[in-house]
Amino acid sequence: MNIAKWFKREAATNPAVQPPARQALVAVTPRQAMNLEAVYRCLFIIETAAKQLTIDAWRGNQPLTPAPSLIRRPNIHQTQTAFIVQTVQSLAQRGNAYWLVTCEPTGEVINLDVLPALEVQPKQDHETGIIDFAYRGRLYNSKQIIHLKLMTVAGEIEGLGPIQAAARSIGGALTLADYASKFTQGIPRGLLTSDQSLTQDQADQLKKEWNEHQSLGNGTAVLGKGTHFEMLYLKPSEMQLLDNQNFNVTQVARLFGIPARLMLAPLEGSSTTYANSQQEDLQLVKWTLTAYLREIEAALTDLLPRGQTARFNLEGLLRADTLTRYQAHQIAIKAGFLTVNEVREIEGLDPLDETPQPQEMEGMSLGNT
pLDDT score of 158: 95
Residue 200 CB-half CA count within 13 A:
0
Is residue 102 within a helix (H) or strand (E), and if so which, with residue range? strand 96-103
CA nearest to 46, candidates 267, 266, 284, 251: 284
pLDDT score of 16: 43
pLDDT score of 195: 73
The 3-class secondary structure across 105-143, one letter per residue, is CCCCEEEEEEECHHHEEEEECCCCCCEEEEECCEEECCC
Q: pTM of the predicted model, to two decimals?
A: 0.69
To the nearest 10°, the Cα dihedral for 285, 290, 293, 296? 180
pLDDT score of 278: 73
CA–CA separation, 97 and 191 (whole Å): 57
Q: What distance separates the 2 farthest-apart alpha carbons in the chain?
A: 124
Residue 58 CB-half CA count within 13 A:
11
User: 15: which DSSP letter?
Assistant: G
| pLDDT mean values, one per 10 residues, the chain (369 residues) | 51 47 58 89 95 93 92 96 97 97 94 97 91 96 96 92 86 66 55 74 75 60 63 48 64 89 67 63 90 97 95 79 77 89 82 61 47
Question: Does residue 156 come out as left (phi exceeding 0), alpha (psi in the -120 to 50 range) or beta?
Answer: beta
CA nearest to 112, candidates 156, 49, 68: 68
- Using alpha carbons only, what angle is made at residue 265 by residues 262 and 269, rounded to the nearest 5 degrees? 115
Residue 342 CB-half CA count within 13 A:
9
pLDDT score of 24: 37
User: 258: which DSSP letter?
Assistant: -
pLDDT score of 122: 96
H helices present in 196-318, as ranges: 200-213, 236-239, 242-256, 274-284, 290-303, 315-318
Question: Does residue 338 come out as left (phi exceeding 0), alpha (psi in the -120 to 50 range) or beta?
Answer: beta
pLDDT score of 178: 64
Q: For residue 207, what are the contacts with CB-CB under 8 A and spacing of at least 6?
A: 192
pLDDT score of 311: 96
